[in-house]
Amino acid sequence: MRHFLSGIAMAAALLTGSVAPVLAQNLFEPVIYINDSAITRYEVQQRQRFMQILGAQQTTAKEAEDALIQDRLRSFAGKQMGLIPSEEGIQRGTDEFASRANLSGPEFIARLEQAGVDASTLRDFIAAGTVWREVIRQRFVPLISVSDAEVDQDLKRQIETPILTRVLISELIIPAPPGQEQQALNLARRIAASQPSDNQFAAAAREYSASESAPAGGRLAWMEVDNLPPGLRPVLAGLQPGQVSQPLTVPGAVVLFYMRDTQGTLRPGAKEQLLDYMTLRLASTTEAATLAARATSCSDLYVQAGAQAAAQIQRQTLSQGQIPTLIATRLASLDDDEAGYVNYGNSVDLVMLCSRRPALIAEMEAEVATTAQPEDGVEAAIPGANALPSREQVRDAIFNRKANAAADAYLQELLADAIIRRP
């Protein structure tokens, strides 16, 4: 198990493994036309090799063709808007892309050429991406906005999501000896696409897996997330119990994981809420019930109560532990802008909930600093691995998701409208 998990962490490394040689006949023969722009056999082979070098070792010619078609459409959209990539922009894009492998632009190009990928293949890839970013920037970015409510909702989701600490998984390791990589990948894809149950995955593991766990249906014991390779953690964190991972290619094998169960803990303070609520002392339950039925929101309560009573309304924002017990108990059953009452016998409090929010979000808005005070007396404010992102980071993430969704939808629109033919 340890050997294969280590292999997964290595699989995405740049320029690992060898790439099989490609036949050279009819290299510059067009194989696809898209909006009258030709894609040659040479371009397909070069893109396939390029994608393989970047870590997608099982890239097929069809996948390389699809990637080239999309790049042609990106460039086509740019030309329609009069956008032409500049030499400076392409150079910046090349340097940025190379920096992901801790290389300079020239070093990266040299590595590619050593592996049989022409510099023009990288240039075309960077140029299409550079133009596409500008297309999205001009066409969609001005239309995208992120509200404070969306930021709050995303933060609330993160606060309420337990931090994954342990996983109970099953593994299926399909051998992929030289020359049989594609068959192994195809088998793994079929198994994953079937959305197997626990028992079905176990049966497949007994039949196809080469690991020591195969006789047990690939079932492994509980594992601490911190003990897993860093590259595997996000793969498993993205699975819910009952889900199977996408195939992961490692040297000599293709691996699938099935998530049987998870364990996690809520972050400190995750359950604490801050309540914005209103109270109004009234003489009878009848009066309180009538006013509660008429008021549709916290702002409307002032109107429905009348000028004299409105002046007596108290509005407070307190954590649950600071609210009187009877009022806190009544608020627990209310939704936003919903009212109820607390009967004390000789008087009644009308209670209306304006909003409830996680206290952690409120602390962020108040810019409450969290620091650690080591024994040596030196302050440290090092964020933990599970620390919440800032509001601006969340806003940027939501913005990027919307921009990516708009870009994907526009690319599909371009693809639907394109004229694609083969010679």
pLDDT in tens, 67-124: 999 999 999 999 999 999 999 999 999 999 999 888 999 999 999 999 999 999 999 9
Structure tokens at 177: 């000896």
Q: pTM value?
A: 0.66
Please give the distance of CA 104 from its chain centroid, rounded to a whole number. Answer: 29
pLDDT of residue 83: 95
Please give the distance of CA 46 from its chain centroid, rounded to a whole number. Answer: 30
**Angstrom distance (rounded) from CA 79 to CA 36:** 14
Within 266-358, strands assigned E span 273-282, 314-319, 338-343, 348-358
**Angstrom distance (rounded) from CA 217 to CA 211:** 10
pLDDT of residue 385: 52
What average pLDDT score do residues 51-70 get? 86
Asked if pLDDT for residue 138 goes beyond 90, the answer is yes
pLDDT in tens, 345-380: 889 999 999 998 888 887 776 543 333 333 433 333
Asked if pLDDT for residue 24 goes beyond 70, the answer is no
What average pLDDT score do residues 375-389 get? 49
What average pLDDT score do residues 376-391 get? 55
**Could you tell me which of 256, 286, 238 has the C-alpha nearest to residue 194?**
256
**Angstrom distance (rounded) from CA 219 to CA 209:** 11
**CA angle centred on 219, ends 215 and 223, rounded to 5°:** 140
Whether 347 contacts 281, CB under 8 Å: yes
Q: Which long-range contacts (CB under 8 A, 24 or more apart) does 299-302 make?
A: 301/339, 301/352
**Angstrom distance (rounded) from CA 64 to CA 45:** 8
pLDDT in tens, 286-295: 999 999 999 9
Cβ neighbors of 322 (< 8 A, separation 6 or more) are: none
